[in-house]
A and B are shown apart, each in its own frame.
Chain A
Amino acid sequence: MATIQQPAAHTVRRGVQPLRAGEGNSYVWHKLHSLLGIIPIGAFLIEHLISNFQALGGPVAYGKTVEFLNSLPMVHVLEWVFIFIPILYHGIYGLYIWLRGKSNVVYYPWSGNWLYLTQRYTGIIAFAFIIQHVIMERFMGVSLHDHPGAAFYKMQQTLANPWMVAIYVIGMLAACWHFSYGVWLFAAKWGITPGTRSRRRFGFVCVAGGVLLAVLGLGSIWAFVGPKYANAPQNVPISYLNAPAHTGAPV
């Protein structure tokens, strides 16, 4: 048949290009994106949710946590190098990855394919949430670096708006989902779980971890909106924060 006699080499290839064997640097940029998602971003997410969980102990306990974090050496350098820049890179490169993929769950509604899509949506939701969260709470309003005791009240004011509560719950859950499935993906793609069974088992671990993180996050949101500390002070004086053990009752 005529198909065999096609011209051997097209000068301009149509369709998907063949592998550019060994060329370019996209491998490094991709792997950096993947690694940063775990360390430091994932590690920071865990730390952040645990720290925030201290809010359940009240304004003084929360203020102490904030004060401790502020006391870390070169805290401003740390937050740029280990938090802001990695998150910006991960988010922006992640968007670039998303734009180049072509989801097809309509034709292939398989669970892995759904998770692939969900990873993109939870990523953008978490990224948008984190940007607004950092701008509002870190760069605007009372400086928590100078006034750690004001942390509880500041968050409480933000969450006084029910819309903000909804945004926080959605953004926080998206971040937990994105991180837990991200850990699973990391293990699968870096060859840590190369077997079908190991991936399944690790899947349970990631679900459990994700649920735990989500519970921590929801618990801390509850601390700010619940009735227990409804009359939290605007600022807990430094002397209170430095006092050894304190019940946390408002002054």
Chain B
Amino acid sequence: MADKTVQLEIKRQASPEAPEMWEKFELAWRPGMNVISAMMEIAANPVTAEGHQTTPIAYDSNCLEEICGSCAMRINGRARMACSSLVENLEQPIRVEPLSKFPLVRDLQVDRSVLFENLKAVKAWVPVDGTYDLGSGPRVFPQQQEANYPLSNCISCTCCMEVCPQFNPATGFVGAATIAQVKLFNNHPTGKVFKEERLRALAGDGGIQECGYAQNCVEACPKQIPLTNAISDIGRDVMVQKVKDWLRG
């Protein structure tokens, strides 16, 4: 058991301008190891497989249970959550790279604020702020809750955007996550107040029309959010909204 090891190859870059390079690591195997726990061990003893002293790897993570969305990275080429990527399920050497579509901060850390900007652009919230007590909200029937619950599972990991062929600087596509959140908040009896604005926002440049329906998003989403269904439903709603706006003049 003691001689069983785990090989990792990690892409490193000290800053956005610094040159990129690969470092190899070899760790003692432990049961239940995942990619984040492996990198924690590297941090405790930052020595490469060749025996060179190096720095701990910079990466984002928090919950370690696939619920905060911060640890998305490319593992063996595929975008996924590092904390739920068990080492025993991965082919070795495990190649770990940062997400490719977001500006690099350092090593495996990227700046995913574009998703936050997109969620703001479509007002993905329920407006309840006010100067007086608005009382209890309208009743949401259980059937409606069941339909909405899967959409509310989004952890803003951006995997759906990373794997999308249309999400790139040329299109400035908004990505599947934001479209699914539009569906969630448009379904909400109070969130609905912004329904028309959200739909109009999604018809802007980089909006829902850029989706090529490659369906990678739904394959990659770690929370199994029905993204293609949401794109379809919201695609229809945006179209109806545009036609209404046009007829109303």
| CB of A103 closer than 8 Å to a CB of B | yes
A-B contact pairs, 28 of them (CB 8 A): A3-B109, A14-B16, A14-B103, A16-B167, A17-B172, A18-B114, A18-B174, A19-B172, A19-B205, A21-B122, A22-B204, A26-B205, A27-B204, A27-B207, A31-B239, A101-B165, A102-B166, A102-B170, A107-B163, A108-B78, A108-B163, A110-B215, A112-B213, A112-B214, A185-B213, A189-B213, A189-B231, A191-B233
Partner of B204, one of A13, A15, A21: A21
Are A19 and B207 also in contact (CB < 8 A) when A113-B214, A113-B216, A194-B232 are? yes
Closest to B110 in A: A15
| CB of A240 closer than 8 Å to a CB of B | no
| CB of A121 closer than 8 Å to a CB of B | no
Bound Cα distance A193, B236 (Å)? 10
A16 near B101: Cβ-Cβ < 8 Å: yes
Are A17 and B78 also in contact (CB < 8 A) when A22-B200, A189-B213 are? no
| CB of B203 closer than 8 Å to a CB of A | yes
Bound Cα distance A19, B216 (Å)? 20
Which 6 pairs from chain A and chain B are nearest by CB?
A: A191-B236, A112-B215, A24-B205, A21-B201, A18-B117, A116-B214
| CB of A20 closer than 8 Å to a CB of B | yes
Partner of B232, one of A21, A108, A115, A193: A193
Mask of A1-35 contacts with B, CB within 8 angstroms, 1/0 = 00100100000011111111111101100110000
Chain A residues with a Cβ under 8 A of chain B: 3, 6, 13-24, 26-27, 30-31, 97, 99-104, 106-108, 110, 112-113, 115-116, 119, 185, 188-196, 199
CB contacts (< 8 Å) of B237 on chain A: these are: 191
CB contacts (< 8 Å) of A26 on chain B: these are: 205-207, 209-210
CB contacts (< 8 Å) of B238 on chain A: these are: 27
Q: Which residues, 12 to 31 on B, are CB-close (under 8 Å) to A?
A: 16
CB contacts (< 8 Å) of B207 on chain A: these are: 19, 26-27
A15 near B114: Cβ-Cβ < 8 Å: yes
User: A18-B121, A19-B122 given. 6 additional CB < 8 A pairs?
Assistant: A26-B206, A31-B209, A100-B170, A104-B216, A113-B214, A190-B235
| CB of B171 closer than 8 Å to a CB of A | yes
Partner of B212, one of A23, A97, A106, A196: A97
CB contacts (< 8 Å) of A101 on chain B: these are: 165-166, 168, 171, 212
B202 near A19: Cβ-Cβ < 8 Å: yes
Bound Cα distance A110, B201 (Å)? 30
Bound Cα distance A106, B101 (Å)? 16
Are A194 and B173 also in contact (CB < 8 A) when A19-B206, A27-B203, A110-B219 are? no
B173 near A16: Cβ-Cβ < 8 Å: yes
| Distance from A4 Cβ to chain B, minimum over Cβ atoms (Å) | 11
| Distance from B11 Cβ to chain A, minimum over Cβ atoms (Å) | 15
Bound Cα distance A100, B60 (Å)? 30
| Distance from A6 Cβ to chain B, minimum over Cβ atoms (Å) | 8
Closest to A25 in B: B205
Partner of A20, one of B16, B167, B206, B209: B206
